[in-house]
Amino acid sequence: MKIKEIYAQKKEQKQPVISLEIFPPKKEDGIASLYQTIEELGAIKPDFISVTYGAGGSENGVNKTLELASEIKHKYGVESLHHLTCVLNNKEQISTILSEIKENGVENILALRGDVPIGVSELPNAYHYAKDLIQDVQEIGGFSVGAACYPEGHIDQLNSRENITHLREKEEAGADFFISQLFFENSSFYRLLDDARSARVNAPIAAGIMPIMSRVQVEKMIFLCGASLPTKLIKLIHKYEHNIEDLRKAGLEYALAQVDDLIAHGVDGVHLYTMNRPVVAKTTLMRYRK
């Protein structure tokens, strides 16, 4: 089932789409553990599960992403969303990858530019922006295409107007829905939503939420994504930084409070960055699948 259809159904039911993100583990025993987690979701299925792309777009990483996405859909009966980055690929390579994805019955793509490797100043391939990939995927056909959006702007963008311009261009290229980068203050997401609708971006926009599991994780995300930390969360991390279990519990509670507020505001969807931790997926789904 295409994810754009899931959003349409949920809108009719006046319910938010609840989705999860996982990533391919580097070790084989991690794959087995991850499948066990997916199976345990059982009766409290998410509306879909997205699978991130392999490290650096490597061949092994690509295969693991497709393996997971295919198994999630066909073995466990949950719709899957296959991430696809294009910064290191040309049109022919992307066409080949999409053919393999289609052959495996996966119908949904999250089209991303991907990170430019350190030391690379020029991109020799056809894809300089995610909108270029979105357009090509739609021209090939057979997929529902999602794209990323950034409540606090992309880390490479200093101009907030540019952020909304790119959002509109992605929709015009064929994006059926958007999933936001993580954020820790809901006001940032509401501001993005207001700006997007004012710019006549009409596709569903899901809020991306990541529970805090460690101080190192937070510092890494701030550097990679440019997400800001509210005072309340800074104090929480400071209070529990030497007690990992209490920090994880407090971080999950903070994230669930964010989700409660988002759902109360009638958002299109909530996308949980689970970091492959079963407790994040299970706690969240049990809370909102009652």
Residue positions annotated with a catalytic role: 21
**CA-to-CA distance for 266 and 155, rounded, in angstroms?**
27
Instruction: Show Cβ contacts of residue 279 under 8 Å, excluding neighbours closer than 6 positions.
Output: 248, 252
DSSP 8-state secondary structure symbol assigned to residue 20: E
Within 10 Å of residue 271's Cβ, how many Cβ atoms?
25
**CA-to-CA distance for 213 and 15, rounded, in angstroms?**
28
**CA-to-CA distance for 17 and 1, rounded, in angstroms?**
14
In the block, tokens 């991690």 appear at 30
List the structure tokens of 67: 């393996």
* Three-state DSSP state, 145: strand
CB 102 within 8 A of CB 147: no
Residue 116, phi then psi, degrees to nearest 5: -75, 125
